[in-house]
């Protein structure tokens, strides 16, 4: 049987791309695993996860500082493989192996071509001094190495268009896995909370808007706060990250109560989805897993008008697409979304479920057909 390897950038404790890689690991139980570094020990019991030299250096603590060394780190890795499936949002798709077979095939699941260097306007991290200094050379190198790819899958039509613009290549759209069945199977997630979590839920206002994600600038949770202020509805912000202090400062300047919940468990997050009036998601995302989770829990979604989220949230049916720069549009959009509560689609599992992803990603690679 052909030997294969699954490749990912770095493995954080949580994250959308990490969820995708987890599903890939399940879908290809015989493949070896490789990443730059992993923040979780023994993430895949019974599987060997190889890390690069970067894992043993302080560079792992700063993705921007590590950026210039990543392209060379991925080249001529130890290993003899017939195929690789790469989960890429930066430079993992540059990977090659010293002893790869003559017919080696590189399949890439692209979350996005590196936004740091290709579209810094939608990711502020690309405005750093390091990113701006190395971007021109890295763009040329990235486009050149993208030509080595055997086949491409993108996580949304939005990213497929970006792939066409940046690399001049086309891609098959395979939506990321979302655990729809798990979320929708529980009528009231609050019933299974710990005592401390139950007290958090009980302390919340009876009606609130929810903003939940990592607290980083490009998630634009400041707009979730302003939306609550605009419609005079309290806001709950769930998550953690470096923007916490900025968001707390903004919360003190608006007229509605704001509650911050740090690092909610899955059960608490799902309970918040079930109780919120509207889940507000202003970020321009390549796909956006959390809005799909919210819809699976029965929450309507108010989202922006750009990005992969517009492919999952059906305007006027499961939520509203809003211009967050227009406060009148925010008011009418949030109010419209609130009226759709409980009217979520019944086809989420068939479009975005984990089982669907596993089947489609195996069809994409299709090792059996060409390795016989």
Per-residue pLDDT tens digits for 222-271: 999 999 999 999 999 999 999 999 999 999 999 999 999 999 999 999 99
Q: State whether 192 and 311 are in the same domain.
A: yes
Chain-centre distance of CA 17, in angstroms? 5
User: What pLDDT is stored for residue 68 in this prediction?
Assistant: 86
Of the chain, the percentage scoring pLDDT greater than 70 comes to 94
What does DSSP say about strands 301-303 and 4-8: parallel, antiparallel, or unpaired?
A: unpaired
Q: State whether 166 and 209 are in the same domain.
A: no
Rounded average pLDDT over 63-77: 91
* 141-194: pLDDT as tens digits: 999 999 999 999 999 999 999 999 999 999 999 999 999 999 999 999 999 999
Residue 355 pLDDT grade (very low, low, confident, very high; cuts 50, 70, 90): very high
Residue 368 DSSP class: H
Q: State whether 339 and 275 are in the same domain.
A: yes
Q: State whether 330 and 342 are in the same domain.
A: yes
User: What pLDDT is stored for residue 193 in this prediction?
Assistant: 96
User: What pLDDT is stored for residue 353 in this prediction?
Assistant: 93
User: What pLDDT is stored for residue 366 in this prediction?
Assistant: 85
Q: State whether 194 and 226 are in the same domain.
A: yes
Q: State whether 365 and 309 are in the same domain.
A: no
More confident site: 327 or 129? 327
Count of the separate structural domains present in the chain: 2
Q: State whether 215 and 69 are in the same domain.
A: no
Which ranges in 69-156 belong to alpha helices (H)?
A: 70-73, 115-118, 129-146
User: What pLDDT is stored for residue 136 in this prediction?
Assistant: 87
Residue 367 pLDDT grade (very low, low, confident, very high; cuts 50, 70, 90): confident
Checking if the pLDDT of 14 tops 90, the result is no
Q: State whether 292 and 360 are in the same domain.
A: no
Rounded average pLDDT over 325-351: 86
Q: Would you say 153 and 175 are in contact if contact means Cβ atoms under 8 Å apart?
A: no
Checking if the pLDDT of 315 tops 80, the result is yes
Q: State whether 107 and 235 are in the same domain.
A: no
Its pTM stands at: 0.90
Q: Which domain holds residue 294?
A: 180-349
CA 167 → CA 118, 120, 139, 150, 173, distances in Å?
Answer: 10, 16, 9, 13, 16
CA 182 → CA 141, 256, 346, distances in Å?
Answer: 42, 33, 14
Residue 103, domain CATH? 3.40.50
Lowest mean pLDDT among 221-230, 291-300, 343-352: 343-352
Residue 119 pLDDT grade (very low, low, confident, very high; cuts 50, 70, 90): confident
Q: State whether 118 and 42 are in the same domain.
A: yes
The tokens of 181 are what?
């069945």
Q: State whether 114 and 197 are in the same domain.
A: no
Checking if the pLDDT of 345 tops 60, the result is no
Among 32, 133, 37, 130, residue whose Cα is nearest residue 92: 37
Residue 310, domain CATH? 3.40.50.2000
* 99-111: pLDDT as tens digits: 998 999 999 999 9
User: What pLDDT is stored for residue 343 in this prediction?
Assistant: 62
CA distance 188 to 342: 14
Among 210, 66, 189, residue whose Cα is nearest residue 138: 66
Q: State whether 245 and 262 are in the same domain.
A: yes
């Amino acid at each position: 049987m052909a030997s294969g390897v699954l490749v990912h950038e770095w493995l954080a404790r949580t994250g959308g791309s990490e969820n995708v890689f987890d599903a890939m690991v399940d879908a290809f139980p015989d493949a070896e695993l490789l990443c730059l570094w992993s923040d979780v020990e023994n993430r895949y019991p019974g599987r060997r996860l190889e890390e690069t030299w970067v894992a043993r250096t302080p560079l792992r603590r700063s993705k921007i500082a590590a950026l210039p060394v990543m392209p060379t780190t991925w080249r001529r890795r130890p290993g003899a493989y017939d195929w690789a499936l790469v989960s890429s949002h930066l430079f993992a798709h540059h990977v090659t192996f010293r002893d790869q077979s003559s017919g080696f095939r590189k399949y890439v699941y692209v979350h996005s071509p590196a936004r740091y260097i290709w579209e810094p306007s939608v990711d502020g991290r690309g405005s750093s001094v390091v990113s701006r200094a190395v971007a021109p050379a890295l763009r040329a190198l990235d486009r050149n190495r993208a030509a080595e790819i055997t086949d491409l899958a993108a996580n949304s039509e939005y990213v497929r268009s970006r792939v066409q613009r940046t690399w001049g290549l086309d891609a098959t759209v395979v939506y990321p896995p979302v655990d729809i069945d798990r979320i929708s199977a529980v009528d009231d997630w609050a019933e299974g909370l710990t005592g401390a979590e139950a007290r958090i839920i009980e302390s919340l206002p009876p009606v609130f808007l929810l903003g939940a994600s990592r607290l980083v600038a490009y998630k634009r949770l400041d707009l979730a706060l302003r939306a609550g202020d605009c419609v005079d509805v309290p806001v709950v912000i769930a998550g953690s990250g470096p923007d916490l202090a900025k968001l707390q400062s903004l919360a003190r300047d608006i007229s509605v109560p704001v509650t911050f919940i740090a690092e909610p468990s899955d059960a608490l997050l799902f309970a918040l989805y079930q109780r919120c009036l509207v889940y507000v998601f202003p970020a321009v995302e390549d796909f956006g897993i959390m809005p799909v989770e919210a819809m699976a829990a029965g929450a309507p979604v108010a989202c922006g008008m750009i990005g992969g989220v517009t492919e999952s949230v059906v305007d006027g049916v499961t939520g509203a697409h809003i211009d967050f720069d227009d406060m009148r549009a925010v008011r009418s959009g949030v109010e419209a979304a609130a009226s759709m509560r409980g009217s979520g689609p019944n086809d989420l599992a068939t479009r975005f479920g984990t089982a669907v992803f596993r089947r489609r990603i195996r069809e994409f690679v299709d090792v059996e057909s060409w390795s016989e």
